Amino acid sequence: MAHSASSSNMGYKNEKGVLCNCKTLAQVVQAWTDDNLGRRFYSCKGRMVNHGYESCNFFRWYDDVESPHGWQHLALLEAREKMCA
């Protein structure tokens, strides 16, 4: 089975004010890999350096929960809220 390593910025806000190693506000991104489908994480959004972007490759899970399925529960609750709104 192929393993995808892609992610997508879904417009989540960095409510916790997490800074990456560049000392800039990290973006919240949603994973689309088979193992972490829908799970969010913090990532460096990069900074402009010499007409290009440079990233410090910062990574931290957004939902550092102890339960292995806790992040899935949170995603389902958020989906339910959107459907009821």
Instruction: Render each residue's pLDDT in the chain as its tens digit; 85 residues.
Output: 444 455 544 445 566 789 999 888 999 888 888 888 888 899 998 877 787 878 899 999 987 654 556 777 777 878 888 888 7
Whether 13 is in a domain gets the answer: yes
Which pTM value belongs to this model?
0.58
> Structural domain tally of the chain?
1
Whether 45 is in a domain gets the answer: yes
Whether 16 is in a domain gets the answer: yes
Burial zone of 69 (CB within 10 Å; 0-12 exposed, 13-18 middle, 19+ buried):
exposed
pLDDT at 65: 53
Whether 1 is in a domain gets the answer: no
Q: What secondary structure letter does DSSP report for 19?
A: B
CB-CB contact of 71 with 39 (8 Å)? yes
Whether 78 is in a domain gets the answer: yes
